[in-house]
Structure 1
C-alpha cells in the first residue's frame, strides 16, 4: 500500500482510470472491470465529471454515474474515489460557484457523502487563483471533500496555489495529476517532481501507458485502418526511439514473467513521488495485467536501463 502525499489515503499503487466508462466500456463492461479490479486487490478509482462528454449523445458525468451505481450495488469497503472539476460542459471553469455546484453534482452521481480526492482538472486563468483555492478549502471545511489535488497545472501555478493556501490557512493539495510516462518525461521530471518532493505531494500520472502504446500492441506509425481512439493515439509514439523502449520493456519483462504494460507501470512507480499510475481497462480480462504492474518490483539497474533508453535531450540551437 502507498500513501497519497501526506494524506490519510493509503492505496494499492495503481489507479483504475474511469475515462472509458460510458465510452468504450458500457455499463455492464464497466461493472465487470470494476469487479475484477477490486477482486484483484485494487482500491483506487480515478474519474472526472466531464467523462465522457465527448461521446455523441453523452452530456458528461456518465463515468461518475456508472461508478456510483456500482458503488451502490457492490458496497465495497475501503475504495478511494477521485474525481475532477472544470471541464464538464455545464460546469466549466473554476469559479467559486462552479466548483461548489459541480462538486455537489458529482456527489449525487457518485452517491457518496464525501469525495475522497477532488482535483482542479485544468487551470483556469480567467478566475483569480485565490478564489479557486478558497472554494476548494470550503468544500473540505464543509465535509464534502476529504483531500484536494491539482491536474495539468504548471509547477509555478502549483507553487502559487500552495503559497495562497498557506497564507489564508486553506487545506494544501496532497496530489498532482500530470501527463507522465516513458515516452513523455522531461517536463514532469524537470519541473513537477521537484515541487512534489518539496511539499510532499503524491504524483498520480495519467496516460501511464501512453494511450496504449506502452502495452506493445501498436508498433506502427501507420494508423490507417485503425478505428479505435486508443490505436490512433498510440500510433504517434511508434518511432524508432519509441520501439526501442518497447523492446527494452519486453526484454526486462520477460525476466519477471511480466507483460510490457506491467513493466512500464513498474518503471513509473519507481520514479520519485509517484504514488499510483492511472491505467484504464475496457474489459475485465485486461485488469490482471494492470494489477501486476502495481506489484512488480524492478531492480535499480532495470530502472536505470529504461531511464537511459527513454531519455530525450532537446536539440541544441
Structure 2
C-alpha cells in the first residue's frame, strides 16, 4: 500500500480507502461493516470516509462504533456536511449548519475531531466568505485538522482560495470529485490549472461508475446489485448517460484488456486511476468483504499499466 500526501498538505492517506455511501446502514449491518473495516486496516488502509447524509447519520454512528477498535492516531477519518435534515438550517453551508452539523457528526462518530471535513456540495445560497470563515473556525478550534470540498467547480474553488487569502483564513486542501473511466473531464481538464497553483489533493468517489466498470451489468441488472436496490441511482445514471449501450460496449472492450493482463476489469479500472498523480486516494464502496479483497488486487495491477496498455485504454474510453 502506498501512502500519498493530500495535495501539498502533510497528511498521508492510503492510496485506497474505504467509504460508507450506500453501504453502511443500507447494504452492510454493523457486523459486516466491522469486518470490512478490519480487513481494510489489515491491508494497510488508513483512510475511512463518511458523511452526515449517509443513511441519515447511521453510517457515521456505525463507523464511530467500529473506530473504537483502532488507535486514533493511526487512522484518517473524514466526514461531509451539507444534508443534515429537512428543517430550516439543517442543510447547506451556513455557519450555523457547518458548526451544528459538525458537532452532531462528531457525536455520532464518538470522536473529538475528524481529520478532514468536507463541504459536501457548493451552496449558492451562502456567501463564500461565510463558508470559508466557518471552516476556518472549525479547523482553528480543533474540530477538524483540514477542510475540503466535494463536487465544487474550479471557479468555485478559485473563489474560495481568493477569499481565504483576503481574509487570512485557512485554505481548503482537498476536493472529492467523482472520477472513473467514464467521468473524467473535471479531474483531467477542469481542475488542471489549480493542482499546482493551490496544491489541490483528490479523494475520488465512484471509481467503478456504480459497478458499471465491473462488467456485471453487461447482460442486465442482477437482483442483488446496487442498481437493483437503489432505483434512484439507476435513474441518475441513465439521465447522465453513464448507463448507456455505448458505454456497455466499451466495458466489453476494456474487459478484454483486463484479460490480457490476467486481471479483472474492476482491478484494471482502479489501477488506471492510481496512475493519476493528482489522486491522493480512491474511496472504495463495498457491499461484501470479498469485494474489498478483490479491489485490493488493483495494487498489483498498477505496475502492469505500461504506456502501450494505457494508450489502448484511452483509445477505448475517449
1:10 corresponds in structure 2 to: 12
Structure 2 unmatched runs, 5+: none
2:38 corresponds in structure 1 to: 35
1:147 is the counterpart of 2:152: no
2:109 corresponds in structure 1 to: 110
1:189 corresponds in structure 2 to: 188
1:132 counterpart SS class: helix
1:162–1:173 CA contact under 8 A, matched in 2: yes
1:309 is the counterpart of 2:316: yes
2:254–2:316 CA contact under 8 A, matched in 1: no
> Where do 1:1-317 residues align within 5 Å?
1-19=3-21, 20-52=23-55, 60-75=56-71, 78-89=74-85, 91-220=90-219, 222-223=220-221, 226=223, 228-231=225-228, 233=233, 236=238, 237=242, 239-297=244-302, 298-311=305-318
Aligned length: 302
1:42–1:291 CA contact under 8 A, matched in 2: no
1:274 positional shift = 1.3
In structure 2, what is the Cα distance between the partners aligned to 1:260 and 1:168? Answer: 47
Structure 1 unmatched runs, 5+: 53-59, 312-317
- The TM-score normalised by the length of structure 1 is 0.88
- The TM-score normalised by the length of structure 2 is 0.88
In structure 1, what is the Cα distance between the partners aligned to 2:258 and 2:74? Answer: 31
1:275 counterpart SS class: strand
In structure 1, what is the Cα distance between the partners aligned to 2:294 and 2:73? Answer: 23
In structure 2, what is the Cα distance between the partners aligned to 1:210 and 1:157? Answer: 25
In structure 2, what is the Cα distance between the partners aligned to 1:130 and 1:136? Answer: 10
In structure 2, what is the Cα distance between the partners aligned to 1:17 and 1:36? Answer: 13
1:286 positional shift = 1.1
CA separation of 1:308 and 1:194: change in aligned 2, threshold 3 A: farther
1:77 positional shift = 5.5
Of 266-275 and 147-156, the range deviating more from structure 2:
266-275
In structure 2, what is the Cα distance between the partners aligned to 1:71 and 1:64? Answer: 10
In structure 1, what is the Cα distance between the partners aligned to 2:15 and 2:170? Answer: 24
